[in-house]
A and B are shown apart, each in its own frame.
Chain A
Amino acid sequence: MGSAEVSRREFVKSAAAAAAAAVVPGAAIARGAWAGGTESIRIGVIGCGGRGTGAAINALEADPATRIVALGDLFADRVESSRKHLAEAGEFGDRARVSPERCFTGFDAYQRVLEAGVDAVILATPPHFRPAHFAAAVAARKHVFMEKPVAVDAPGVRMVLEAANAAGAAGLCVVAGTQRRHEASYLAAMQRIREGALGRIVSARCYWNQGGLWVHRRKPEYSDMEWQVRNWLYFCWLSGDHIVEQHVHNLDVVNWAIGSHPERCLGMGGRQVRTGEEYGNIFDHFTVEYVYPGGEHVMSMCRQIEGTSPRCEEVIHGAQGTAVLRPGSARITGAAEWRFAEKNNNPYVQEHADLLAAIRSGRPVNEARQVAESTLTAIMGRMSAYTGQEVTWEQALQSEWRLGPETYEFGDLPVDEAPVPGRTRLL
């Protein structure tokens, strides 16, 4: 029944497996101050909303010698509420107490956090800012936990890929918030798929269809910039649209199962129900067909429309069987029938446990490239749906379609029109 306890023994064991899988060949083994030790790891949080604060708590739960030492956010009220929730979380005592002089606000708060004597950072701002924050964290030689998605456009993905290589060369550890990669049910299923339980993979389907999410309504005192960042889900330049912000989880699982990113796609979508100003300029539904290098065809569907049938899962079809995967549940039918019947872990704690164990062991884990590829998988689907054109991986990767303002300041910021397939041009 879903207890979240992740025992130290369990997490060290699975962290070793995860680290072994993702070790960069030939990378220097960083024998840091922690190798085999139990000294404190000092963590800064960049982006102090509900998820950033939640991730900080998860890191405290994952390893008894972590401390949250600095907080940064665009908004003072967010930093303050995060500081309060951490202090009030109770069982962590001083490990969760951040002094006011280590709390930073503004567009450059991330730099102040990186300079605040931290060993690792949690990157949990709206996705638009992730590439710059990740690059800066790597340049400052910090270990990184970064939420998904890791970019909203191709220029951002290229920046993440470049920083991923730099992180590898420096022996830094990077874990992404695609938590299914750390979830016991998914790991058990993927192991079976690797061992041939489905035979050759021939196709897949993945879904994130649900109702709507929170909306942050505009207040008179907000500038355009403040309102958009607070209501970031609905502005493509900030979230990447829901296919990138949310459906990236499912696309990541498909890439994981097939062992590759797609080579081309054809998508469609629209903005049919959420048409009000508070919903910015994103779509409310997408369907994309992806084609992978081995000829595997993948059908992807995502929708955020209320009163519609929900579905959130990945289905992997092989020549000899089918796997249906959902959080906490995995089932294989066909030649090698199997169902996940063990106790699941809490993947939101496990991802930090795996990161922190890798830091301590000196055997770097680096998930930056895989999550960048999954992010671009979603972005190329969006590009295809927005324009109505078929899009190849190379087109997507080399795209100069950059989203968002050139500089960041509170003030006027007109909202781009929602895209119109057939008229919106592929850039």
Chain B
Amino acid sequence: MQYAAVLAAGSLAVAAFAEADGAPPPGGFTQAVPGAAATIEMVPVPTPDGAGTIWMSSTEITWDVYDVFVYGLEEGEKGSGGADAVTRPSRPYIPPDRGYGHAGHPAISMTAHGAQEFCRWLSERTGRRYRLPTEAEWEHACRAGSDGAYCFGDDEGALGQFAWYSENAEGRTHPVATKAPNAWGLYDMHGNVAEWAIGADGKAVTRGGSFMDGAAGCRSGAREVPTRAWNASDPQVPKSRWWLADAPFVGFRVVCEAGESSKGPEPEGDDGQR
């Protein structure tokens, strides 16, 4: 395969063994997830100021892992921990994968609230500090040292080697890590799904474009601010705090920072009436 060499180089950056939970190993680690057969590959990336390191999931979070959070599939497993502080998403009335594909595909259609509660849940379950990336972290990681429009430079013609976007995606998501990674071992930063990140004002935006966007919409600097239209056709009132009926192009990846997870404030209750 044309990208075999690049793919191999990318995965070399990842320590391919599962670590016991605790401080993130500097070279990266494989995060086991209670209740999931799949794991999350975490790779080290420098912080935007160059002074430190955070770890970022090399792929977008997949349904294999997000389903465990949604449906509580880890409950009853040894070491799953107490469930008291975890708020589960409401049960979606339609399969939120939209028929694009499930196993191995990025989880989609979740609100930023859902993505953040996933991070809280993952932290609870692993003892590590997971959260959404800030916009600065996300863009720095996407560029991976490149100051061009894309992680590989400015040549739009090369985008198809790195990204699922409107020209090659056929209107759907694709399994993660099936295109070439950037220089830091991160897959699908351009395209596949637009990813939640937290802006300087504390509000969530999406970055990097999706399978629905053209090349310009998938640049390292591409960002979108969520609007009401992203959940206009939720037929229930009040509308879901967890799922976006009209944003099948939204997903996320996580970052982990050094230190142990601390229990955050109690999440708000959910009315369960979705």
Residues of A participating in the B interface, judged by any CB pair closer than 8 Å:
1-5, 49-51, 53-58, 85, 89, 179, 209-216, 246, 306-307, 309-313, 326-329, 339, 346-349
Q: Collect the chain B residues with CB atoms within 8 Å of residue A313's CB.
A: 99
Q: Kindly report which residue of chain A lies nearest to residue B170, judged by CB atoms.
A: A339
Q: Is the CB of A339 within 8 A of B238?
A: no
Q: Collect the chain B residues with CB atoms within 8 Å of residue A328's CB.
A: 98
| CB proximity of A81 to chain B, nearest CB, Å | 9
CA distance A56 to B236 in the complex (A): 10
Give the residue of A211, A214, A311 whose beta carbon is less than 8 angstroms from that of B273. Answer: A214
Other A-B pairs beyond A2-B230, A211-B92, A329-B98, 8, CB < 8 Å: A2-B229, A2-B245, A4-B246, A50-B237, A54-B234, A246-B93, A310-B97, A339-B171
6 smallest A-B Cβ distances: which pairs? A4-B232, A2-B246, A310-B95, A50-B236, A306-B71, A53-B237
Q: Is the CB of A210 within 8 A of B92?
A: yes
| CB proximity of B223 to chain A, nearest CB, Å | 15
Given contacts A329-B171, A339-B171, contact A54 B235 (CB under 8 A): yes
Give the residue of B73, B99, B212, B238 whose beta carbon is less than 8 angstroms from that of A85. Answer: B238
Given contacts A327-B94, A347-B233, contact A211 B99 (CB under 8 A): no
| CB proximity of B253 to chain A, nearest CB, Å | 21
CA distance A54 to B97 in the complex (A): 23
CA distance A209 to B94 in the complex (A): 9
| Main SS at interface, chain B | loop
Q: Kindly report which residue of chain A lies nearest to residue B249, judged by CB atoms.
A: A1
Q: Kindly report which residue of chain B lies nearest to residue A324, judged by CB atoms.
A: B99
Q: Is the CB of B95 within 8 A of A311?
A: yes
Q: Collect the chain B residues with CB atoms within 8 Å of residue A216's CB.
A: 272-273
Q: How many B residues are at the interface, by size bracket?
A: 20 to 34
CA distance A55 to B233 in the complex (A): 11
Q: Collect the chain A residues with CB atoms within 8 Å of residue B87's CB.
A: none
Q: Collect the chain B residues with CB atoms within 8 Å of residue A327's CB.
A: 94, 98
B39 proximal to A (CB < 8 A)? no
Most buried by A among B67, B91, B95, B249: B95
Q: Kindly report which residue of chain A lies nearest to residue B73, judged by CB atoms.
A: A307
CA distance A92 to B94 in the complex (A): 28
Q: Kindly report which residue of chain B lies nearest to residue A86, judged by CB atoms.
A: B237
Q: Is the CB of A309 within 8 A of B233?
A: no
Give the residue of B99, B237, B249, B272 whose beta carbon is less than 8 angstroms from that of A311. Answer: B99
Given contacts A213-B93, A339-B171, contact A2 B247 (CB under 8 A): yes
B241 proximal to A (CB < 8 A)? no
Q: Kindly report which residue of chain B lies nearest to residue A350, judged by CB atoms.
A: B233
| CB proximity of B33 to chain A, nearest CB, Å | 14
| CB proximity of B232 to chain A, nearest CB, Å | 3
CA distance A326 to B272 in the complex (A): 26
Enumerate B68-86 residues with CB–CB distance to A below 8 Å.
70-71, 73
| CB proximity of B242 to chain A, nearest CB, Å | 12
Q: Is the CB of B67 within 8 A of A54?
A: no
CA distance A213 to B95 in the complex (A): 11
| CB proximity of A405 to chain B, nearest CB, Å | 25
Q: Is the CB of B229 within 8 A of A312?
A: no
Q: Is the CB of B235 within 8 A of A3?
A: no
B90 proximal to A (CB < 8 A)? yes
Q: Kindly report which residue of chain A lies nearest to residue B94, judged by CB atoms.
A: A312
Q: Is the CB of B229 within 8 A of A3?
A: yes
CA distance A55 to B272 in the complex (A): 19
Q: Collect the chain B residues with CB atoms within 8 Å of residue A55's CB.
A: 235
CA distance A57 to B233 in the complex (A): 11
CA distance A402 to B97 in the complex (A): 37
B174 proximal to A (CB < 8 A)? no
Q: Is the CB of A1 within 8 A of B171?
A: no
27 A-B pairs whose Cβ atoms sit less than 8 Å apart in the complex? A1-B230, A1-B247, A2-B229, A2-B246, A3-B229, A4-B246, A49-B273, A50-B236, A50-B238, A54-B237, A56-B237, A85-B237, A179-B235, A210-B95, A211-B91, A211-B95, A213-B91, A214-B273, A216-B272, A216-B273, A310-B95, A310-B102, A312-B99, A327-B94, A329-B98, A339-B171, A346-B232
Give the residue of A4, A51, A214, A307 whose beta carbon is less than 8 angstroms from that of B233. Answer: A4
